[in-house]
Amino acid sequence: MRIGIPRALYFYSYLPFWHTFWTKLGHKVIVSPLTNKGILDHGVKEASTDLCVPVKVLHGHIAYLAAKDKVDAIFLPRMVNVGTKATFCPKFLGLPEMVSSAFCQLPPLIVPRGDLGNPWRLFDLCHKLQRQWAPEGSVWLAYRAARSAQNRFQREIEQGRLPMDCLHNYTEDVPNHDRRAIIPSGGALRVAVLGYPYAVYDSFLNGNSLKKLHKMGVSVYTADMVPLGEQKRYRRHKDLFWHYSNVVLQAGQVLLDSTLKIDGVINISNFACGPDAMVGKLLEFECKKRAKPMITLTLDEQTGEGGINTRIEAFVDMLARRKDGAHNLSLHGQFSTGFQTVVCRTRPRGDCPTASQQAHS
Ligand code: SF4
């Protein structure tokens, strides 16, 4: 049987597990191609208008797999949780219904419930899938191979590789050896690019931001590179409700406090994303506390590469100037004058020395 896996949402975190699992059970896995304009346009057309762009992109990938009899079934798990109290966002929970109501004709959807409080629940889920979709296969062998593929993938990411470089074993992508150079920390500037994996690693969606930073000689660090154990040290009194949001927030704090000496943070956010409204604000607080500059790039289906390039260039330029000693650049709404920091919002505008100096200059 040919099982289609859309290159969106959970793909960037769990593809090695599910690809290996289905392959070991004797099925052929077909992964949709890299996001492109056709896929995005198709997704926008099929999906409801008020959805976030990553979910629209998922619709586009589903449309690609469903067209022309490419696959016999599409694997679309309902991801609920992966071992923490936090769940995936409500749109993940309702994906199967959303997708089946958006399309008139679809191959059968394989929709297991990913409520994975512990590894045995995952095994149980695999067992159910095997009984239904591959009664001849050995679930234990498939499960073990899938676990080791996933562990290997996670180790590689934590060592500083990007998912795109590790996942080409599971897709038909041509490996791009150039991209490996994005991560090594040789760049003069170090920037944490924080956001959900399906926005940070989908280069069409984010206007090729990582490659752009690489070309500018910036070393990039993402949330997935922070081991889970370290992230947990930064749990809040009250965590957020959503899994990926907690990962971004906790990993962001680890990176900001690490010996890497991060120069700034690029927050990749998605228009119409509810959880992002909280994550963006909390990240901003954390950056302010540590006097680190942060910029938010909000993605939607209209976002053009030109606009993203301009903002990234301006941000990197500002970081470079700060690093060269120009510490009087405005940061988080403050103006720094020498050793003294003046918060203009607390004074009438005319009394602010920096503001009046600027007015006269
Ligand atoms: S977390 Fe935000 S971007 Fe991700 S699926 Fe949910 S609403 Fe969309």
**pLDDT tens track for 174-184:** 555 444 444 44
- Nearest ligand 1 atom to alpha carbon 92: 5
Residue with CA at minimum distance from ligand 1 atom 6: 89
CATH number of residue 221's parent domain: 3.40.50.11900
Residue 62: DSSP 8-state = H
pLDDT tier for residue 287 given thresholds of 50, 70 and 90: very high
Secondary structure (DSSP) of 93-126 = HTHHHHHHHH-SS-PPEE--EEE-SSHHHHHHHH
CATH number of residue 35's parent domain: 3.40.50
Mutational pocket test of ligand 1: of 78, 205, 273, the residue with most ligand atoms within 8 Å of the beta carbon: 273
**Mean pLDDT, the chain, as a whole number?**
83
Task: Determine the structural domain holding residue 333 and report its residue range.
Answer: 327-361
Same domain membership, residue 153 and residue 216: no
Residue 167 lies in a domain: no
pLDDT of residue 302: 73
Residue 331: DSSP 8-state = B
Same domain membership, residue 152 and residue 9: yes
Q: Point out the domain boundary residue: 123, 158, 193.
A: 158
Q: Is 71 left (phi over 0), alpha (psi -120 to 50) or beta?
A: beta
pLDDT of residue 72: 94
Residue 119 lies in a domain: yes
Which 3 state secondary structure label does DSSP give 360? helix
- Nearest ligand 1 atom to alpha carbon 245: 1
Q: Which long-range contacts (CB under 8 A, 24 or more apart) does 145-154 make?
A: 145/20, 145/21, 145/24, 146/16, 146/17, 146/18, 146/20, 146/21, 146/24, 147/17, 147/119, 149/16, 149/17, 149/19, 149/20, 150/14, 150/16, 150/17, 150/20, 152/16, 153/15, 153/16
Same domain membership, residue 153 and residue 209: no
Containing 90, the helix (H) or strand (E) segment is helix 90-93
Judge whether residue 173 has pLDDT over 60: yes
Mutational pocket test of ligand 1: of 52, 80, 194, the residue with most ligand atoms within 8 Å of the beta carbon: 52
Query: What average pLDDT does range 306-318 have in this prediction?
Result: 90
**Cα–Cα distances in Å, from 122 out to 115, 141, 207, 260?**
8, 14, 35, 35
Same domain membership, residue 196 and residue 140: no
Same domain membership, residue 199 and residue 132: no
Same domain membership, residue 125 and residue 12: yes
More confident residue, 230 or 281: 281
Q: How many domains would you assign to the chain? A: 3
Q: How many CB atoms lie within 10 A of CB 361?
A: 5
Sign of CA dihedral 160, 208, 166, 121: positive
Nearest Cα to Cα of residue 222 among 209, 234, 233: 209
262: CA distance to ligand 1 center in Å? 26
Lowest mean pLDDT among 41-50, 78-87, 170-179, 298-307: 170-179
Residue 168 lies in a domain: no
pLDDT of residue 355: 42
Residue with CA at minimum distance from ligand 1 atom 2: 273
Same domain membership, residue 219 and residue 292: yes
Residue with CA at minimum distance from ligand 1 atom 7: 273
Nearest Cα to Cα of residue 199 among 53, 360, 356: 53
Same domain membership, residue 336 and residue 300: no
Same domain membership, residue 152 and residue 8: yes
Same domain membership, residue 258 and residue 217: yes
pLDDT by residue (tens digit) across 215-257? 888 989 999 888 877 777 777 777 888 999 999 999 999 999 9
Residue 64 lies in a domain: yes
Give strand pairing partners of 23.
none
In 173-236, the DSSP E strands lie at: 189-194, 218-222
pLDDT of residue 111: 93
Judge whether residue 356 has pLDDT over 80: no
Same domain membership, residue 72 and residue 33: yes
The gap between the terminal CA atoms of the chain, to the nearest Å, is 71
Sign of CA dihedral 134, 138, 139, 144: negative
Residue 14: DSSP 8-state = H
In the chain, the DSSP E strands lie at: 2-5, 28-31, 73-75, 78-81, 109-110, 113-115, 189-194, 218-222, 264-270, 294-299, 335-337, 340-342
Residue 255 lies in a domain: yes
